[in-house]
Structures are given as structure tokens and as C-alpha cells.
Amino acid sequence: MRLFWLLPLFALLLSCARPASNTVVVATASSFRPALETLAALLEPTCDVTLRISSGSTGALVAQITQGAPFDLLISADPVLSQSLLGLHEEVELGAVFAIAPMALWQRDTANPNAPIAIANPDIAPFGRAAMQVLRAKHGDDLPKLVRGASAAQAFSFVHLNVAKAGYVPLSLLLAADIADGEYEVVAPSLYTAIDLQAVILTMNPAHICIAEQLANADLSRFGYGAP
């Protein structure tokens, strides 16, 4: 009889001891975060993982990775910075470019006309560098007053909060926030160096490879991305 009562308890202990689902820590360019959060519903069951997402400018994320941040995957918007990670350790593998990220000029009618224009920090953010290319093409050295965000997402928030009258921001963030078409204009891609998205596998694992492959084959047009 005593053994009869012990058996259910033993089964319960075994069930509690089962390992949790495979958690994959993904660092992503801030412009891709809304898309990745939506795609998680497909990626998690397909690759048998749970995603934990961190976002920021690609430059800031690469700096964190080189300092030992425990990321498994990086969704980079800067292939040059991606290449710099190859020497970090032998497991790092670069995936193919899987999308091109358009940029738009967002101008709000309610904004203070004397407010600055928002851009991401060009020292660490690909969208910031792209914005500077466009601004120099339009204004030369006589640049308008600017406010710089730490990432493309922060530049977006400056416009959203009326800190800036306009901003050069990712089209993907505008679509994710349901911003009306009349408030923004997609910037001609000929005015700036293309912003390429690339998956960088930082720790080799079948689940990490699966995620990179799924992204490479996904149709991202609904998020505002173009095909490479």
C-alpha cells in the first residue's frame, strides 16, 4: 500500500524534472523586432524553441556580443559588422542576407515646426548612416537641426512623442504602428546604401540553424521588407 502512494509522487517528480523547452536568445536590430515578435508564433513550434528577444542598434548589439553577451543569434542590419564577429569564436556562422529594409521620412502634421529631425545614431545604427547619406545629398554641409536616437526605434519614438517634427525611420516600424500612408514617404533607395538584414548564428545548434533557415525562406513583404 505504501508503494502505491509513492508511485504517483515519483511520477510527479519526474515530470517536474523534465527540461524546459529550448530557449533561444535572439538579439535583433530594433527595426526588425515587431516582425520577429509576430514571426515567433511560427518559429517557435517549427524549430521547437522559445524565443527571448533583445533589440537595439546593430552596432550596440555587436559591441555587447564582443563583450560576452549571451546571445545565440543576431539579426544584423549591417553585414560589415556581421563579418567582424567571425573572429570571435569558431562557431560563428553568417547566414545569407534575407531581406532589405526600406527607410521612410515620417512627418507629423501636429509637430512643432521648430523641432529637430530625428535620426538613429549614425555611429552605431545603419539607419542613422543611411539618414545622413540622404541628408547630405539634400542639404550638403548645411544640415538641419537633428536629434539622434540610440537606435532606429528610438528615432521613431522621438517623432511619435513630438520631440521631433520628422524622422528618418524604418518603414517596418511605421507599418507595425499602423501609421497612415499620408504621414510618410518612402525614401528612394538610390539615395543611401541598402540596409541588408542577415542572421548571424553565434552558437551552433540545430534549433539556431532552423531559425536562420526559416527567416531566409519567409515572405517578409507584409512587414515592409524587400527581397534581397
pLDDT at 174 (0 to 100): 98
Triad 64, 65, 71: Cα angle to 5° = 110
Give just the sign of the alpha carbon dihedral 104, 110, 114, 118. Answer: negative
Say whether pLDDT at 40 is over 90. yes
Q: What does pTM read for this prediction?
A: 0.87
pLDDT band at 45; cut points 50, 70, 90: very high
pLDDT at 27 (0 to 100): 98
The span from the CA of 46 to the CA of 161, in Å, is 38
29 vs 46, 75, 125, 160, 182, CA distance in Å? 23, 6, 9, 19, 26
Triad 161, 163, 167: Cα angle to 5° = 90
The reply to whether CATH 3.40.190.10 applies to domain 103-191 is: yes
pLDDT at 186 (0 to 100): 98
CATH classification number, 23-100+195-223, choose in 3.40.190.10, 3.30.565.10, 3.10.450.50, 3.30.930.10: 3.40.190.10
Contact between 116 and 145 under an 8 Å Cβ cutoff? The reply is yes
Flag the least confident range among 26-35, 45-54, 75-84, 102-111.
Answer: 102-111
Beta strands in the chain (DSSP E): 22-29, 49-56, 73-76, 93-100, 103-107, 117-120, 146-149, 166-170, 184-186, 196-201
* b/e map 68-95, b = 16+ CB within 10 Å: eeebbbbbbbbbebbeebeeeeeebbbb
93-120 tens-digit pLDDT: 999 999 999 999 999 887 688 899 999 9
Average pLDDT over residues 37-44: 97
Flag the least confident range among 19-23, 90-94, 142-146, 177-181.
Answer: 19-23
Selected residue with higher pLDDT from 13 and 213: 213
Closest CA to 132 of 120, 149, 124, 116: 120
Say whether pLDDT at 152 is over 90. yes
- Per-domain residue ranges for the chain? 23-100+195-223, 103-191
Average pLDDT over residues 117-124: 97
Q: Do domains 23-100+195-223 and 103-191 have the same CATH topology?
A: yes
Contact between 149 and 124 under an 8 Å Cβ cutoff? The reply is no
